Structure formats: structure tokens, C-alpha cells
């Protein structure tokens, strides 16, 4: 069964601090891994997309890593801002279906 597990479930950090979110998956066949940011009541917005051969991809203060051997990915947020408060969802693509994790809820406080 294809599964995407994210940790932690929720996280609170101070503005300006860094944080790392984790994603473990068991999806086959693997096509790509995506990270999305979802504000409350809104649709997800793409942050990064990585294929099997990519280890790292950055988008501004967001850096995603992928270890296809261990089937793990991380999303590192640098110098957090209040606007980073959102749910971050890891998505692993297999053929036509996207497998979503439950997300990590991040709260950045002043």
C-alpha cells in the first residue's frame, strides 16, 4: 500500500529560526516527490518537485532534499517568517495518482 508519513505533526518556532520537516514514503513506482504549502482554507501551492535523480532543490528560503535509497525527504525552512505559518504537505507521485501526506502544521510566532 502506498503511504506517505510526515513528521512532526505540528511545530511551533520563533520568527527567524530554522526548521526541518520530514517525509518518509513507501510509494511504487516512484515518479517524483513534491512539497506543497497550504494556507488555511486555500489550495496547496507548489514549493518544489524532485525526480529520482535529484538530491536537493531550493526555492528561496525553502530547500528540499531527497534520498531515494532510504525513501526519505526533508524540507528545510531558513530564517522563518510569520507568513510561513501554514501546513506543509509532502506528495509522492506514482503514475497518475498523487499520494499525499497528512501534512505538518507549522506556526511561526513573533
Partner 1 sequence: DAGVTQSPTHLIKTRGQQVTLRCSPISGHKSVSWYQQVLGQGPQFIFQYYEKEERGRGNFPDRFSARQFPNYSSELNVNALLLGDSALYLCASSLQTGTINEKLFFGSGTQLSVL
Contact between 98 and partner 1 per CB under 8 A: yes
CB of 20 to partner 1, least distance (A): 19
Going by DSSP bridges, is the β-strand pair 104-109/10-14 parallel, antiparallel, or unpaired?
parallel
Q: For residue 67, which of 83, 52, 89 has the smallest C-alpha distance?
A: 52
Cβ distance to partner 1 smaller for residue 32 or 74: 32
Cα dihedral value 78, 79, 83, 89, nearest 10: 20
Q: Select from 24, 31, 59, 74 the one that contacts partner 1 (CB under 8 A).
A: 31
Contact residues for partner 1, defined by CB under 8 A? 4, 31-32, 34, 41-46, 49, 51, 89, 91, 93, 95-103
Amino acid at each position: 500500500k502506498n503511504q506517505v508519513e510526515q513528521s512532526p505533526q505540528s511545530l511551533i518556532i520563533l520568527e527567524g529560526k530554522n526548521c526541518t520537516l520530514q517525509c518518509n514514503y513507501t510509494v511504487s513506482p516512484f515518479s517524483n516527490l513534491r512539497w506543497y504549502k497550504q494556507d488555511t482554507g486555500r489550495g496547496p501551492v507548489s514549493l518544489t518537485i524532485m525526480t529520482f535523480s535529484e538530491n536537493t532543490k531550493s526555492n528561496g528560503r525553502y530547500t528540499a532534499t531527497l534520498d531515494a535509497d532510504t525513501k526519505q525527504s526533508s524540507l528545510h525552512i531558513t530564517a522563518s517568517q510569520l507568513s510561513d505559518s501554514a501546513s506543509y504537505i509532502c506528495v509522492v507521485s506514482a503514475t497518475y495518482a498523487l499520494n499525499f501526506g497528512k501534512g505538518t502544521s507549522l506556526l511561526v510566532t513573533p
